[in-house]
Structure 1
């Protein structure tokens, strides 16, 4: 591993917690160069919802490459892009009664967020944004400006302006009515709040600690935006593509955001790809006004279309994800019950699940114990106090039980219980 330590930047992070050299991966398993097999409950930070190298996606990808299909296409018309758009419209948007134009902004979630913020300002003619406490939207300057985490914000090196944070759902533990502060500021000419262009929100805060917004809170936010003439942007980069059950995480609330940011698992294969979904009346971009060299990653279009055909032609994956998520919640509740000496509780939605520890140091300790038992887990939350489960949605029931048993054992080891 000296080549990495000698040549790679100190900014590297995941490899410090998992100091092995990985070589191959399949489904929910990774294998290192020494032949050790690890169960993956990390899932590429949400980029591998269908697991590693799924066969249903690998074959069309290899076939496409073997026939010298276009790889790099910018925003040129290509067969692969056309097939993806047809598939996305016919199997995702139309059945859900959603009407969106599709923008390819560049291949990452941060690209999508930057595009959404930029477009919202162009539509409204206003600069200010509303974000939420504990939000995470990416590591570029615009995305950081609407992110809550102080460590990540400090890395910008400059003041992050033009955004005002509001309390996320349950920020005051139910002691303050929803949106009372937000609406009061909007209606008070003496509040000092800059007139906002849009509100950006995650329906479940992933990096912020697996904080799920209640359905009624999301509906209330949607209503407030409509009444006050604010655009609503949903960042579905990590929680979309089935992570919470339905394809879009906002479906459970019955809302239709003005702009939606998609990335991570949209390609289905871990290939870089991102989308910005825009209500047609808001698609006022000029040609080339926002672009990116790698916005036309055609192999990703191939696997994205294959993933939709394979996993979203019916509701089987959605039902399976919800059921597996309930099993994780049940297991976490049992772990908490069986460890009365340490305060902890389960949280999350679908297969975005967390186990939050009152003692923040336990999050990393439990994750470390799990790695020793060959289970990959990361932590989340402002102090890494939440053990985070983002296993592939295709993880089998046996693999789920195996991983949950390791987590229980790791909690006992870390707490001395």
Structure 2
């Protein structure tokens, strides 16, 4: 496919230099349906990006679109702050019946604002309020958002530098396998906690991703997560699981921590919770932690009613019978087989992942970006991740067909061969 980059336009003339994805994908997109996007010149792209995990059910999913159109056409409430609405009630009932009760999860639901970083900020604030302590422990290569509190528990040096001020009250610890198995899990962390001379203030909480997406598709073992949960309980620290990108079925189960058999104290959810790509975020926490005063944490757009509508439709359609998890795990095996074949044919590449989140790491780090560039030219959207953009990251929609997955894997294999 021959793609002519857009001429100097209103994007370059008016939009900030901070824009990023458009630089790697120089096209003007016009339409999207299912797992395909279409630019204004008529080119078709298979989407292995899915809105950075915000489109787990594909673009313009017809079931969700119908529910949204019907709601808008009857003049359903669009903006309602945190007022009680029929749309919010329907979502809460669906979330309780399809997600919380079947998993015996006791969580209260908070709507902190429209984005993932809003959910993280609320989680950090609540943990500090409950425990009366300031320090939060995070992990190497973590990513939790771009606002100041979230950045303080994010590992990426480039993103942290954008804050412009010191990022305080956060302490990083080694993520699972950070030392390639040479150091016992949590040896350093627990020693610091127990040593009165360590200089580590007693943390209020620990925040962790079960799979680090932006950090390079680093997958925490179930036993590591269980040991972390036990450590938090022993040391009187709250456990926060950031499930913003890996939740909503991305790893198979609805919550990515289910496989480990743990129940975090606080969970952050966003991205695909609305199902349709509309902004919505949740901060979930055990009932005994609900010590907020009314209005103590608020936001103008914390109740996105059209997103409630599509979220309820998503849960009722895809999560009522347990089939989505089975399908995702089967599709994940298909992707793993394809990546294994690519790695077997090419030296200096390894792969890792869970469910439908996968990464290929390149020893020749700049090659990952070259692969993504060539994949775009061939009609496939993939991005890089990792601290040095050394990983090609795959986030296909959970609803992608086996045939579409095979097509994308063939394009990816070709892009790898042609950048060798």
What's the TM-score bracket when you normalise by the shorter of the two chains? over 0.9
Alignment of 1:354-393 (within 5 A): 354-393=359-398
- 1:265 equivalenced with 2:272 (yes/no): yes
Residues paired across the two proteins, number: 413
Q: Which runs of 5+ in 2 are unaligned?
A: 1-5
Aligned equivalent of 2:232, options 204, 216, 225:
225
For 1:65 and 1:166, the matched residues in 2 are separated by: 47
What is the Cα-based RMSD across aligned positions, in Å?
Answer: 0.6
What SS does the aligned partner of 2:393 have? strand
Match of 1:133 among 116, 140, 143: 140
1:212-251 → structure 2 map (5 Å cutoff): 212-251=219-258
In 1, distance between residues paired with 2:263 and 2:194? 25
- The one of 345, 351, 363 equivalent to 1:346 is 351
Deviations 1:163-217 (A, max 9, x none): 1000000000000111000000000000000110000000000000000100000
Report the counterpart of residue 193 of structure 2 in structure 1. 186
Q: Distance in 2 between matches of 1:175 and 1:93?
A: 38
Q: What is the match of residue 84 of structure 1?
A: 91
Work out which of the residue numbers 278, 290, 293 in structure 1 matches 2:285. Answer: 278
TM-score, length basis structure 1: 0.98
Which of 177, 181, 184 lines up with 1:177 in the alignment? 184
Tell me by how many angstroms 1:348 deviates.
1.2
Measured after TM superposition, the shift of residue 325 of structure 1 is 1.1
Match of residue 69 from structure 1: 76
CA–CA separation in structure 1 for the residues paired with 2:384 and 2:333: 20
How far 1:316 moved relative to its partner? Answer: 1.3
CA distance in 1, matches of 2:209, 2:194: 24
Residue from 405, 412, 417 that aligns with 1:407? 412
- CA shift digits 1:338-371 (9 cap, x unpaired): 113xx11011111010000011101100000100
CA deviations 1:242-262 (Å, max 9, x no partner) are 000000000001101000000
Per-residue CA shift, 1:84-134, capped at 9, x if unaligned?
Answer: 000000110000000010000000000000000000000000000000000
| C-alpha displacement of 1:146 | 0.1
Q: Supply the distance in 2 between the matched residues of 1:92 and 1:73 (Cα, whole angstroms).
A: 24
Q: 203, 215, 227: which one pairs with 1:196? A: 203
Per the TM alignment, residue 320 of structure 1 is displaced from its structure 2 partner at its CA by 1.1
SS in 1 for 2:125: helix
Q: What is aligned with 1:308?
A: 315
SS of match in other structure, 1:194: coil
Q: Distance in 1 between matches of 2:336 and 2:192?
A: 37
Moved beyond 2 Å, runs of 4+ = none
SS in 2 for 1:23: strand
Q: Name 2:42's counterpart in structure 1.
A: 35
**3-state secondary structure, aligned to 2:38:** strand
SS at match of 1:317: helix
Structure 2 counterpart of 1:335, from 322, 332, 342: 342
